[in-house]
Amino acid sequence: MFKSMKFSSICSITLFTYVTFMSPILIYLTLSNKIILMEWEILSNSSYSITFPLILDPISVSFSCVVCLISACVMFFTSSYMSADPFLTRFVWLVMLFVLSMNILVFVPSIISLLLGWDGLGIVSFALVIYYQNMKSLAAGMVTALANRIGDVLLLISIAICANEANWNMMLIWENSMFPWLCLCILVGAMTKSAQIPFSAWLPAAMAAPTPVSALVHSSTLVTAGIFILIRFYYMLAAWPLFNFLALFIGTITLLMAGIGANHEHDLKKIIALSTLSQLGVMMLSLGLGAWNLTLFHLYTHALFKALLFLCAGAIIHNNNNVQDIRSFGALASQMPLTIACLNIANLALCGAPFLSGFYSKDLILETCLYNPTNSIALIMIFLATGMTAAYSIRLSLVTLWQESSNMPFTQNSDEDWIVTTPIIILTIAAITGGLVLQTVFFYFNEPIYLPLAHKLLTISVTLVGAWIAINIWKLKMAKNPEGSLANSFFSTMWFLSMITTQPNMIKPFMWAKTMTKSIDQGWLEVLGGKGTLNLTTKTSAMTQILQAKYINTMLSMMLLTAASVFS
C-alpha cells in the first residue's frame, strides 16, 4: 500500500516538473508569436512517406500545461483519497495513460495521428468508469464507450474523406465537393466527446467513476477534447456556412437543458457534472459566435475551478461515509472550514462572480452575445440559463453553509490531511488568479467590447436574480413540483434524454442482433454455408459411388458412346 501511495506521489511530482519545464517554452512561444512544426518520418517509399507531425504553439503548450497541472493536483489528492484501494498502482497507471492520450491529442495536427489520442481517451475512460466493477459502473461505462465510439467512427470517416487529397494535416485542407461532409463529421464527432445534446446522457452516468477521475474527465480532459478539436480546426470549419449556426443552436440548447437539470438534481457529483455540461454549452455557443479565443479562455478557467469543485466534493463525500445526497449534508462550514471555503470560491467562479477566474471569460462571452447580431430567442435562452447557473451554484453553497445538520449521529466531519488539502489550496489560488493571469499573458484573450451601461450590467443582474430566487426557494424549503411528478422526472433526467438514448437504443439493437443471429448465422448461413456445403458434397459423393458400383455397364456404354461421338 505504501509503495502505491509513493508511486502516485512520484507521478504527481513528474507532472509538476513537466509544467515547470514547459512554462519557459510557453512564454517564449507567446512573446515571439512562433509556431514550431516538427515531422518524424516513420517510413518512406518512393514518392510517398508516412510521418508523425507535432506542433508546438501557444495554444497546444498552454493547454498541455493546464491539463498536467490539474492532473498533478489530482494525483497528489489520489495518494491519500484512495490510499485504502488495493489496486491503487493500476489506477495510477490508467490515469497517467489518460493524461498521455490527452497530450497526444493536443500536440498532433494530423487527423490520422490524432486518432491515437482520440481512441486512447475513449478506451482508458471506459476502463476508469468501470473501475469499481459493479453493475452500475459497467452500465455507465457501456454508455460512455458507445457514445465515444460514434465519435471514433465519424473521425474514421473524416480520415477516409481526407484520403482523396492524400493530406491529413487539417491546417492544409482546402475546400472541395466533400468539404461540407468533412466538417459535419468533425462537428458531430466533437459533440459526442463534449457531450452536447443529443449525446449528453453519458456525462452524468460517468459519475460512477472514482472522484479523482471525475475531476480529470469533467475539467480538462475527455469533455474538453471535443471543444479543443473544434478550436484547433476552427478556421477550416468556419468556411462551412452552417457551422456557426449549428454550434450556436446546439450550445444554447445544451446550456439550457443542463441548467434546468442541475436545479432538480440532489446528487452532489451529478450537480457538478451538469454544471460542466452547461459550461460546455457556453463554450459551444461562443464558437458559434466566432469567438474561438474566448472559448479557449473559458476552457482554461473552467478547467481550474471545476477540478477544484470535484476535489472539494470528494473530500465532503469521503467524510460523510460516501453519501452523495446533498439533503444529507448540513452545518459543514463549521466542521470543514477550509474545504467549504474553497468549494464556495469555486461556486462563485462558476457563477461568474467579479474578479474570480470564471468572471473574465464568461462575462466576455455573454457580452459578445449582446454585441454580435444574435437571434433574440437564443439570447433570452442564454441569459435564462445563466440565471439558472447562479441558482444551482448558490443552492449548493446554501446546503453546505447554512443548512442545519442532517448527518447521522456520531458522524464526525473535518478537513482532511495536508495531502488532500494542498492540491485544493493550489487549485483555489488558480481559480482566484487564473483569469487575470491568463488575460495578461495571452493577448488574444483580450476582447474590447463597447456596450451601453445597461447591457454591461445585464450579466451581473441576471446572476444576482438567479441567486435571489435560489435563496428564496431554499428559505421556503418547498418546490412547486413534488418529487414524483412528471415535470420533475422530465427535468431531472435531462428531458428524458438519459432514458431515450440508453435503454431504447440498446434494447432494440440487441433484439435485432438476436433475430439476425438466429435467422442468418444459425439459419440460412448454416444451410448455404459450411454445413450445407458439407451435406451437398456428402450426398453427391454417395450418389457417385452408387453409380460407379451398380451401373458399371451403363458407365462403360456412356464412355464408348462419348468416345465414338468425339472421333466420328
* pLDDT tens digits, one per residue of 306-342: 999 988 888 888 877 777 778 777 777 777 888 888 9
pLDDT of residue 395: 84
To the nearest 10 degrees (0 to 180), the angle between helices 243-263 and 268-288 is 160
Query: Residue 534 pLDDT > 60, yes or no?
Result: yes
C-alpha cell at 305: 475551478
Tell me which residue of 310, 307, 306, 259 sits closest to 281, measured CA to CA: 259
| Same domain (yes/no): 470, 516 | no
Q: Domain boundary at 239, 262, 278, which?
A: 239
Q: Is residue 318 part of a domain?
A: yes
pLDDT given at position 479 = 45
415 shares a domain with 556: no
Contact between 336 and 415 (Cβ < 8 Å):
yes
Weakest-pLDDT range from 51-65, 395-409, 483-497, 515-529: 483-497
Averaged pLDDT, 113-119: 86
Task: Give CA–CA dist 484/312, Å, rounded.
Answer: 30
The residue out of 205, 239, 273 marking a domain boundary is: 239
55 Rama sector, left if φ>0, alpha if ψ -120 to 50, beta otherwise: beta
Question: Does the structure show a pLDDT above 50 at 508?
Answer: yes
Q: Between these two residues, 71 and 411, which has the higher pLDDT value?
A: 71
Q: How many domains does the chain have?
A: 3
CA-derived radius of gyration, the chain: 29
CB 181 within 8 A of CB 243: no
C-alpha cell at 285: 455557443
Q: Give the residue, 502 or 38, on which the prediction is more confident.
A: 38
- The pLDDT value given to residue 499: 66
Residue (of 124, 164, 159, 160) closest to 141 by Cα position: 124
268 lies in some domain: no
In a domain, 244, yes or no: no
Q: Is residue 250 part of a domain?
A: no
Residue 64 confidence class, pLDDT cut points 50, 70, 90: very high
Q: What mean pLDDT, rounded, does the chain reach? A: 82
Do both 528 and 381 map to the same domain? no
State CA 398 to chain mean position distance. Answer: 29
Residue type, 326: I
546 domain-assigned: yes
Residue 504 lies in a domain: no
> In this structure, what C-alpha cell is assigned to residue 222?
475527455
Packing angle between helix 376-401 and helix 337-351, nearest 10 degrees?
170
pLDDT, average across residues 183-195: 89
Torsion angle of alpha carbons 277, 279, 284, 285, nearest 10°? 120
Whole-angstrom distance, CA of residue 71 vs CA of residue 499? 32
Confidence of residue 503 (pLDDT cuts 50, 70, 90): low
pLDDT at 429 over 70: yes
Task: Specify if 273 maps to a domain.
Answer: no
Higher pLDDT, 354 or 506: 354
* Residue numbers of the domain that contains 539: 509-567
Of 287 and 508, which is predicted with more confidence? 287
Q: Are residues 523 and 397 in the same domain?
A: no
Within this chain, do residues 232 and 195 fall inside the same structural domain, yes or no? yes
- The mean-pLDDT minimum among 49-53, 60-64, 145-149 falls in 49-53
Give every CB contact of residue 430 below 8 A, 6+ residues apart in sequence.
69, 304, 308, 357
Q: Is the pLDDT of residue 506 over 70?
A: no
- Is residue 180 in some structural domain? yes
- Is 70 exceeded by the pLDDT of residue 455? yes
pLDDT at 480 over 60: no
55 three-state secondary structure: strand
Question: How does DSSP assign 492-558, residue by residue?
Answer: HTTTTHHHHTTHHHHHHHHHHHHHHIIIIIIIIHHHHSHHHHHHHHHHHHHHHHHHHHH-HHHHHHH
Distance CA 464, CA 353 (A): 10
Of 102-106, 131-135, 288-292, 447-451, minimum mean pLDDT range: 447-451
Residue 57 CA from chain centroid, whole number: 23
Give the pLDDT of residue 4. 60
Residue 18 has pLDDT above 70, yes or no: yes
Query: Do residues 443 and 532 both lie within one domain?
Result: no
Q: How confident is the model at residue 212 (pLDDT cuts 50, 70, 90)?
A: confident
Q: Supply 438's cell numbers.
A: 491568463
* Type of residue found at 486: L
Question: Can you give the pLDDT at residue 80?
Answer: 82
The residue with greater pLDDT, 237 or 446, is 237
Query: What is the four-CA torsion angle of 428, 446, 360, 429, rounded to 10 degrees?
Result: 10
Average of pLDDT values for 344-361? 88
Among residues 208, 239, 270, which one ends one of the domains?
239
| Closest alpha carbon to 208 in 286, 267, 285, 288 | 267
* Stronger pLDDT, 20 or 174, i.e. the higher one: 20
Average the pLDDT over 132-152 and give the result. Answer: 84
Q: Are 5 and 88 in the same domain?
A: yes
**Same domain membership, residue 18 and residue 138:** yes
Cα(353)–Cα(374) distance, rounded to whole angstroms?
24
Same domain, residue pair 401 and 520: no
As beta bridge partners, residue 55 has: 37
Q: What is the mean pLDDT of residues 59-64?
A: 91
pTM assigned to the model = 0.83
| Greatest distance between any 2 Cα atoms in the chain | 116
Plot region of 265 (φ>0 → left; ψ -120 to 50 → alpha; else → beta): beta
- For residue 495, is pLDDT > 60? yes
Clarify whether residues 474 and 401 are in a common domain: yes
CA distance 498 to 521: 33
Per-residue pLDDT at 478: 44
Please tell me the distance from the alpha carbon of residue 78 to that of residue 201, in angstroms, as a whole number: 27
Residue 50: which H helix or E strand, with range? strand 48-56
- Exposure letters 439-452 (e unless 16+ CB within 10 A, then b): beebeebeeeeeee
pLDDT tens figures, 72-81: 998 888 888 7
Q: Are residues 306 and 232 in the same domain?
A: no
Query: What amino acid occupies position 452?
Result: P
Residue 279 has pLDDT above 70, yes or no: yes
Burial 1-33 (b: 16+ CB within 10 A, else e): eeebbebbbebbeebbebbeebeeebeebbeee
Q: Indicate whether 98 pLDDT > 80.
A: yes
**114 close to 33: Cβ distance less than 8 angstroms:** no
CA-to-CA dists, residue 427 to 20, 31, 299, 354, angstroms = 16, 26, 15, 18
**469 & 514 share domain:** no
Predicted pLDDT of residue 5: 66
Distance between CA atoms of residues 77 and 317, nearest Å = 14
Cell of 76: 497528489
Among 123-137, 208-222, 482-496, which stretch is predicted with the lowest mean pLDDT? Answer: 482-496
Nearest partner of 345 among 261, 426, 273, judged by Cα: 426
Question: For 412-425, how does the pLDDT look when each residue is reduced to its tens digit (9 = 90+)?
Answer: 666 667 788 888 89
- Give dist(CA 71, CA 58) in Å, integer: 20
